[in-house]
Amino acid sequence: MNEPHTSARTHVTGESEFVDDRPATRGELFVELVLSAHAHARIKAIDPSKALRHPGVAAVFTAGDFHSNLWGTIFKDQPLLAEQVTAYHGEPVALVAAESREAARAGRSLVEIDYEPLPALLSIAAARTANSFIAPAREIARGDAKVAFLAAPRRLEGRIVIRGADHFYLENQASIAYPREDGQIEVHSSSQHPTETQHVVAHALGLSYKDVVCIVKRLGGGFGGKESQAAPFAAYAALVASKLGRPARVILSKDDDMVITGKRNPFENLYKVGFDHEGRLLSLEVELYSDGGAYADLSTSIMERAMLHCDNAYFIPNVRIRGQVCRTNFHPHTAFRGFGGPKGVATIERIIEEVAHAVGRDPLEIRKLNCYAPEGPRAVTPYGQTVRNNCLPKLLDRLARDSDYAARRARIRRHNEESLSGSDSRTLRGLSLVPVKFGISFTTRFLNQANALVLVHRDGSIQVSTGATEMGQGVNAKLARLVARELGLPRDHVRIMPTATDKNANTSPTAASSGADLNGAAAVLATRKIKARLSELAVSLLEIPESRWARHTAGLGTEPEIQVGPVAINEEDPNFGADWETGVASYHGMRFENGSVFAANSPKRHLSFAALVNEAYHHRISLSEHAHYRIPGLSFNKLTGQGDAFLYYTQGAALSEVSVNLDTGELKVLCARILMDLGRPVNSGIDLGQVTGAFIQGMGWVTTEKLHYNARGALLSHAPSTYKIPSIQDTPRDFQVELLPNNDSRASLNGMKAVGEPPLLLALSVWTAAHDALKSLEAYRRTYPRLELPATQEELLRGIFPEKFRHWEIRPGAGK
């Protein structure tokens, strides 16, 4: 099935409503944030008097105005407003509420704060030296990596530097809070996690959860940046609304958003790898160090996923992976598409390329040699999970064949030889084909649950409420299709409602690529409960003359009511009782197709779905239902580092061919070919859009998106003028995406597989292709080029002319 995004028309016409599109209501206040001017400082005094005298300023609030000033997704260690000490440049210190945005912005510049600067930790190296860490180190191990490394015929050691990146969502952080009767608060937020936003607001104001409702209609992009970090902005708006009894609006500018909010965690990873003369991996030791920033946020879970993906597509018999989060004086870093997975995969893919260079073989050969086997002991990960439904060898073979890998490699070799021998061309070309195996589930077990509410109205139309938030990824289109398919209706008969905590409570964030898996399963289970009742009713109705149906007789009470019984629903298996090919469950021999309901053995006798629903109402049969779904079989033990961490793996492969200009360092992606295993897609059009979008976003991460901070820890690149995201001109001119048919994916609802995050990691093929291009230079005949990530134009020039750049090197620890 290939249908458009549910908001396609309203997006194009400009009718789609985002938080700041909500009309200002009577008495509404605008809120601006006063930010710390230091990375680390003691707050000696805050003087709001000048701001309060400014026309239009209604109030200034500080940390003491909150009932509870601490919040945090995993550890409650972060103040909503800095109270005694500021821990990063740009940390919110005070709120200014005013009658207009202009007055609020003027007022915040008038709040005077007296600081005493303190020493700041502004690098991973500095944090390690100071033993400044967030939570204890973690480990995943198998075999004896140290002994195997010493016994290996060949050995390599290295370090990989992975910088941070900004989410750069189009809609900045945004919240509006409305005071309601009896002390209640209604919050409209651009949040991926309405439940957490509800809870943070309630704690901040000293309310119970029942008194706070968070509503999310849609987000203008999230990418993980609104999973946890949307919550404090809702709390700011709610504080003003609660204290002043007036609606309050917090809408960040792009500059403020980038300065305040955390990024993709920077990592610095150390590795030792032992291998044989063929390039077969025998041992791997990795030490992962991430920059968590000033507070914990989600960094420990991000580190865990980085550790779980250090194997990527490869079996390594002896492994020791250690991860440690460092506490620094930068904004607290947070979730970003791929979570920690990209950092683990980048590390092992650099290792694979380096091993191939050392043994003098094509990297694709080394990837195939070490790839997970379809079954047996070489199909087991370092944490003890078997890679089932393993498509990796097939993906590598087919993409190499379909993209003419061998012929491309030969052409590139000739091109580079000519470029380096004095031809007019001043470019080098590189080629890389990279696989990805991405685990699908939250690695924190209790988050792998969802609930849904389905309402069938008397005209046959349907409303569905779940915990999923629509942020452009098309989850609403998938949910609507799943419910409509189950009832044999067109998709436009189903409306997915705004996510609200008074309809779906205790929900998980829309994250970990699991929004459609979790909420889709819950919605289908709820729909099937209603469908079973309607099916039993239909059996009876088809045996009764229509003149005796309840719509004609119920008012008079001349006919007995038809009673229906319950149906068994398996909350851990959404495929239970469903036909595998169609994904649809049948009850009492009835079929729902094309808006009609009929017995499978007698299709000529039928009634319309709307008529059946109306009859159900007149027989007092419930037309609403709630269901809960939990992912089964998850057994990962965080302390031992062993167990099944994921329900299944989304897999893919990408080939990238790049050109690097020897004079300027400019990189162009000439070709990208992607082959993805997405199981059995419910909407292949949306999935293809997700693959292409994720890959382009990943290209930005690995090539152009570099954050720059000054020596005091202040972010300098906080606008599109200084932070380079990909444009249409960066799109590969030869760009092809194909989905691998996979009818054997049976772990999730009807075999569909998650698509949100995995394709981003495929962009690492662009980064490794850049290394491949530089390998042709004389300087890298024996050693492997070690580019930072992102491989910016400057970084590539540094790789081309390493000697010329040496005197410009920044001393270690001086900057980020």
Would you please indicate which residues are annotated as catalytic (active-site) residues?
A: 757
Dihedral sign computed on CA atoms, order 443, 445, 446, 450: positive
| Residue 502, amino acid | D
Residues 575, 525: contact at Cβ < 8 Å?
no
236 by DSSP, 3-state: which?
Answer: helix
C-alpha–C-alpha distance, residues 706 and 700, integer Å: 9
Instruction: Give the C-alpha distances (Å, rounded to integers) separating 326 from 125, 214, 715, 756.
Output: 9, 33, 19, 28
Dihedral sign computed on CA atoms, order 483, 487, 492, 494: negative
Query: What is the crossing angle of helices 363-370 and 392-402, to 10°?
Result: 160
CA proximity to 35, closest of 24, 43, 23: 43
Residues 223, 338: contact at Cβ < 8 Å?
no
C-alpha–C-alpha distance, residues 60 and 159, integer Å: 48
Peptide bond into 435 cis (omega under 30): no
Angle at 814 between CA 813 and CA 816, to 5 degrees: 75
What strands lie across the sheet with 212-216, from one edge to the other? 57-61, 92-98, 29-35, 248-251, 174-179, 185-189, 212-216, 499-500
C-alpha–C-alpha distance, residues 248 and 24, integer Å: 9
Residues 152, 267: contact at Cβ < 8 Å?
no
Q: The tokens 């459609």 sit on which residue?
A: 516
Two structure tokens written together for 663? 């004079």
User: CB-based contacts of 81: which residues, under 8 Å, 6+ apart?
Assistant: 61, 62, 63, 66, 69, 92, 93, 94, 95
What letter would DSSP give residue 112?
E
Cα R_g (the chain), whole angstroms:
28
Other beta carbons within 10 angstroms of residue 604's beta carbon come to 6
C-alpha–C-alpha distance, residues 395 and 406, integer Å: 16
User: CB-based contacts of 411: which residues, under 8 Å, 6+ apart?
Assistant: none
Query: What is the crossing angle of helices 299-308 and 341-359, to 10°?
Result: 30
Q: The tokens 């009859």 sit on which residue?
A: 615
Residues 287, 279: contact at Cβ < 8 Å?
no
Residues 193, 249: contact at Cβ < 8 Å?
no
CA proximity to 670, closest of 730, 738, 737: 730
607 phi/psi in degrees, rounded to 5: -140, 160
Residues 518, 450: contact at Cβ < 8 Å?
yes
Residues 656, 766: contact at Cβ < 8 Å?
yes
466 by DSSP, 3-state: which?
Answer: strand
User: CB-based contacts of 610: which residues, under 8 Å, 6+ apart?
Assistant: 458, 459, 460, 595
DSSP codes, 604-660: EEEEEHHHHHHHHHHTT---EEEEEEE------BTTTTBS---SEEEEEEEEEEEEE
Residues 179, 241: contact at Cβ < 8 Å?
yes
**DSSP3 helix / strand / coil % (the chain, rounded to 5):** 35, 25, 40
Residues 466, 510: contact at Cβ < 8 Å?
no
C-alpha–C-alpha distance, residues 8 and 16, integer Å: 9
Strand partners, 454: 464, 625
